[in-house]
């Protein structure tokens, strides 16, 4: 896949570069933007990458500006590849009522099969295939990869990491663990994937994990003061799946933390060190 990328902006950070790019996506059939942090080590050699998937309403800049991840990434020699959360553009379908949990900003990292979504909403293939091929062809990245994310992006990271062997470790903050049984997931899957609920199972982390006899290293952090915990996130379903599979995932409740980027900023260093230990 030989595609060009165009630099939109670049800033120095901790001796490395925080860069935003745009490109014409063949998979999503629209122009996309993504961000990359290249640590200072990338000036001399190809480096491994942690792919970050953001949550509902976010784009590729939320994590880079709020998580404070660049300092540790620079120390560890990790690139950060930060994707957008959905296809974008005037021709891309959106929720007709303007809801935040469907359409633009809410791709849910699935391959849509239903009209009008299927023309653009192929976010699973974009994250798994197109984006890694693109950045590895154009930037000093090797083929060592980890994946992480928050909320909807935590769901995406868990599902993709469990299904795809190209990612050596998985982590998540406040993930939607059991989307087939929560309002966010049911709305998104019903629209993107249709009424056949059997097809939804391939995008449900709790269901995927409970069927595994082994899994890559996994770290999950969930705040106890998260206002979405009970209705949308269902961390207990992931804990039960982990127990059934014996996969050894680290699933941790963090007392008093909420759903915000303050939570992510507090624990992102532990997550990056976790990935670095498995990448190296």
Considering the chain, what percentage of its residues have pLDDT values greater than 90? 97
Q: What is the pLDDT of residue 121?
A: 98
Active-site residue (options: 171, 226, 234, 271)? 226
Residue spans of the domains in the chain: they are 6-279
Q: How far is CA 264 from CA 168, 243, 267, in A?
A: 21, 25, 6
Active-site residue (options: 120, 259, 271, 275)? 259
Per the annotation, the verdict on 171 as an active-site residue is no
Per the annotation, the verdict on 151 as an active-site residue is yes
The per-residue pLDDT for range 186-221, each reduced to its tens digit, is 999 999 999 999 999 999 999 999 998 889 999 999
Question: Using CA of residue 197, residue 128, residue 122, residue 58, what is the dihedral sign?
Answer: positive
In CATH terms, the fold of domain 6-279 is: Rossmann fold (3.40.50)
Helices and strands (DSSP H and E) totals, the chain? 9, 9
Specify which residues 44 forms β-bridges with: none
- 193 in Cβ contact with 199 (< 8 Å): yes
Active-site residue (options: 64, 86, 151, 169)? 151
Q: Is the pTM of this model over 0.85?
A: yes
Mean pLDDT, the chain, whole residue set:
97
Q: Predicted confidence band at 1 (pLDDT cuts at 50, 70, 90)? A: very low
The per-residue pLDDT for range 237-270, each reduced to its tens digit, is 999 999 999 999 999 999 999 999 999 999 999 9
Per the annotation, the verdict on 10 as an active-site residue is no
């Amino acid at each position: 896949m030989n595609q060009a990328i165009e630099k939109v902006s670049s800033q120095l950070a901790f001796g490395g570069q925080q860069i935003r790019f745009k490109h014409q996506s063949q998979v999503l059939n629209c122009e996309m933007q993504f961000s990359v942090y290249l640590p200072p080590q990338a000036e001399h050699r190809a480096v491994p990458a942690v792919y970050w998937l953001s949550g509902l309403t976010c784009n590729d800049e939320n994590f880079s500006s709020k998580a404070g991840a660049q300092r540790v990434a620079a120390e560890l020699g990790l690139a950060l590849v930060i994707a957008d959360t959905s296809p974008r553009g005037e021709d891309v379908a959106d929720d007709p009522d303007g809801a935040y949990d469907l359409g633009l900003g809410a791709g849910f990292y699935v391959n849509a099969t239903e009209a009008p979504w299927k023309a653009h909403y192929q976010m699973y293939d974009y994250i798994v295939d197109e984006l890694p091929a693109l950045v590895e062809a154009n930037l000093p990245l090797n083929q060592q990869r980890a994946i992480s994310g928050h909320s909807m992006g935590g769901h995406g990271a868990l599902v993709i990491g469990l299904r795809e062997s190209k990612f050596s470790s998985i982590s998540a903050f406040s993930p939607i663990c059991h989307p087939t049984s929560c309002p966010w997931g049911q709305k998104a899957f019903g629209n993107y994937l249709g009424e056949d609920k059997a097809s939804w199972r391939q995008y449900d982390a709790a269901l995927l994990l409970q069927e595994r006899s082994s899994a890559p290293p996994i770290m999950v952090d969930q705040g106890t003061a998260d206002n979405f915990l009970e209705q949308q996130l269902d961390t207990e379903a992931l804990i039960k799946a982990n127990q059934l599979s014996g996969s050894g995932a680290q699933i941790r409740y963090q007392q008093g933390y909420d759903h915000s980027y303050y939570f992510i900023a507090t624990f992102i260093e532990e997550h990056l060190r976790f990935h670095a230990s498995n990448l190296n």
